Amino acid sequence: MEVKVGPSTLELVEGDITRQDTVAIVNAANKHLRPGGGVDGAIHRAGGPAIEAACRQLGGCPMGEARITTGGNLKARYVIHTVGPVYRDGCHREPELLASCYRESLKLASANGIKSLAFPSISTGVYGYPMEDAARVALKTVTDYLAHHPEIERVRLVLFGRAAYEVYGKALQEL
């Protein structure tokens, strides 16, 4: 499923983020930027030791911010690492911090001339963010950014599993 946002394209796909052919992929990282589980572990495994070496030099990343490294052995040239919030009850700045993850990642893409990037569903795995709420935050943040930044030609949300794809598809139609 895809929609146009100005001259840019926002795309939803079900798949594996480590196999995307975009210029950059976004990693749902931990604050230490060390290999972890889920999306983070998959990206580090597929990208090889160059990503971990680059992350060590960065010294971590605060929640809601983003950092950029090489893509190592991935098809993507870059990995943008962002640290999403652990969901508690939605009343501890979680929506604001999650939106910041997407916005700061997009800002890094713009600053580095990256015209295409792929995001996972940030914070919806072990960090426990409810998928429906996360989808609304992600899609609104991305569409708002693209409306003012035509330099990014394509943003792909890569969703793991049919259920996640359907939740994001419904949220996109409602937007």
Catalytic residue among 21, 40, 133, 144: 40
Q: What is the mean pLDDT of the chain?
A: 96
Whether 40 is a known active-site residue: answer yes
Residue 75: count of CB within 10 angstroms of its CB: 14
pLDDT in tens, 110-122: 999 999 999 999 9
> Is it the case that residue 136 has pLDDT exceeding 90?
yes
Mean pLDDT within 160-168: 96
Residue 100: count of CB within 10 angstroms of its CB: 23
Q: What phi and psi, each to the nearest 5 degrees, are found at residue 117?
A: -150, 155
| Cα 3 from Cα 147, distance rounded (Å) | 12
| Cα 102 from Cα 121, distance rounded (Å) | 10
Domains and CATH numbers, the chain: 2-174 (3.40.220.10)
Q: Are 14 and 41 in contact (CB under 8 A)?
A: no
Q: Are 106 and 145 in contact (CB under 8 A)?
A: yes
Report DSSP letters for 119-137, one per residue. Answer: E--TTSSTT---HHHHHHH
| Cα 19 from Cα 25, distance rounded (Å) | 9
**Model confidence band, residue 95 (pLDDT cutoffs 50, 70, 90):** very high
Counting Cα atoms < 13 Å in the Cβ hemisphere of 47 gives: 30
